[in-house]
Amino acid sequence: MTRMCSGIITIDGFAASGKSTCARLLSSSLGVPMLSTGMAHRLNVWVLLHEGINPNDLEQLELYLSRLELHFDVQNNVLTPNINGYGIPPDELDSDEVRKWLPRITRRPEVGRGLAARFRTATAGMRLVAEGHGLGTGIFPEAGHKFFCDAPTEIRIERRWRQRCAASEVISREEVGRELRERDASDAMREVNPVRQLPDMVVVDTGKLTPDECLKLMLEVLD
């Protein structure tokens, strides 16, 4: 049976909660593009730093946001962001500098509001699966279906630690755990587009379910 996706489906959750895996599986099953707002946020941080803008200077930041142009290209069923003419720089979105500034910049209310508005404009009229932070709470609050990926903190720490090690980083579980907990607090407490499980979100427990079981659950909700 072919399932149809009407409008936008959001998949929220904290870091390393399995959002990306669930979104990839669901977008592939439905045959609609996948949007990772996290990738766009990382590119935004990279562009800021690349252009020499001081994120702590409100005047500079607001001037940058006033001229920010965001659009997406579809590549291999994924929406790839382009900001002010900059595409994804190879091997630079996961740099230490981008990682350091990412939570500081994304929690700024003016950044949250500015990018949320541009996400909505750039995807107007599209059918897609969007994964990221604060989608159902502020970026796409009118989405037809909303999911919230969740898993115990220790499982998420282990996932993130393994990802970092696979990328040839030398880092301890303890350091990854500290970073993840700080990120959780920042994402939950930010003024605009906080990460929060709302009553209209269906929980996907990626700590208990396999990826295939997560997909089965989501498809059953969409039927």
Residue 213 is predicted with a pLDDT of 98
**Structure confidence at residue 90 as a pLDDT band (50, 70, 90):** confident
More confident residue, 208 or 106: 208
| Mean pLDDT in residue range 18-26 | 98
Residue 119 is predicted with a pLDDT of 97
pLDDT one-digit tens code per residue, 130-189: 999 999 999 999 999 999 999 999 999 999 999 999 989 999 999 999 999 999 998 999
Residue 151 is predicted with a pLDDT of 98
The CA radius of gyration of the chain, in Å to the nearest whole number, is: 17
Residue 13 is predicted with a pLDDT of 97
**Structure confidence at residue 2 as a pLDDT band (50, 70, 90):** very low
Show the tokens assigned to 6: 């009407």
Question: Does the pLDDT at position 27 exceed 60?
Answer: yes
Question: Does the pLDDT at position 4 exceed 70?
Answer: no
Calpha distance 147→132 (Å, rounded):
11
**Structure confidence at residue 82 as a pLDDT band (50, 70, 90):** very high
Task: Name 72's bridge partners.
Answer: 81
Residue 6 is predicted with a pLDDT of 54
CB 112 within 8 A of CB 193: yes
Render the chain in DSSP notation, one character per residue. Answer: ------SEEEEEESTTSSHHHHHHHHHHHHT--EEEHHHHHHHHHHHHHHTT--TT-HHHHHHHHHT--EEEEEETTEEEEEETTB-PPTTTTTSHHHHHHHHHHHTSHHHHHHHHHHHHHHTTT--EEEESSSIIIIISTT-SEEEEEE--HHHHHHHHHHHHHHTT----HHHHHHHHHHHHHHHHH-SSS-----TTEEEEETTTS-HHHHHHHHHHHH-
Task: Lowest mean pLDDT of 19-23, 92-96, 107-111, 219-223, name the range.
Answer: 92-96
Residue 94 is predicted with a pLDDT of 86
More confident residue, 100 or 210: 210
